[in-house]
Structure 1
Amino acid sequence: MVSTLTEPFQRGTERIRSDHPGVGLGLAIVTSIVHAHDGTLTVAPRPDGGLRVAVRLPAAPSPDTGR
């Protein structure tokens, strides 16, 4: 199920918080932003529940060297 959570309107079935149901767009938006910046997004389940989400973006070029 974790692999589908970055698709629009997908939500986990065993949500911890019920006071803010959401619509399942958060990770889909993050995915779009990360890909637009040539980054990577990793989503993995945690053993005790929840998710571990990691975003990696390439370093910005140095203004002095252009690299």
Structure 2
Amino acid sequence: NEGIQNISKRKVRTVAKGESREKIEKLSRQLQFCEEEARALCKVSQRQAKKDTKRKNDVTNI
């Protein structure tokens, strides 16, 4: 009976590790997506800032 319990405990640990690995991989993909989104938003806001600065300079030069 003790042998069966040890095998069961090992199986539980293995399954738990597998689930943890899947969760880590899922979170890693989500993090990568968020980083890509952040970079894209940063580029957009930089472009917008350049446009705003140019517009401001154009108005000042009139």
Identify the TM-score tier after normalising by the shorter chain.
under 0.3
The answer to which structure has the higher strand fraction is 1
The answer to which structure has the higher helix fraction is 2
Q: TM-score, normalised by structure 2?
A: 0.27
Q: TM-score, normalised by structure 1?
A: 0.25
Structure with greater contact order relative to length (CA < 8 Å, sep ≥ 6): 1
Structure showing greater Rg: 2
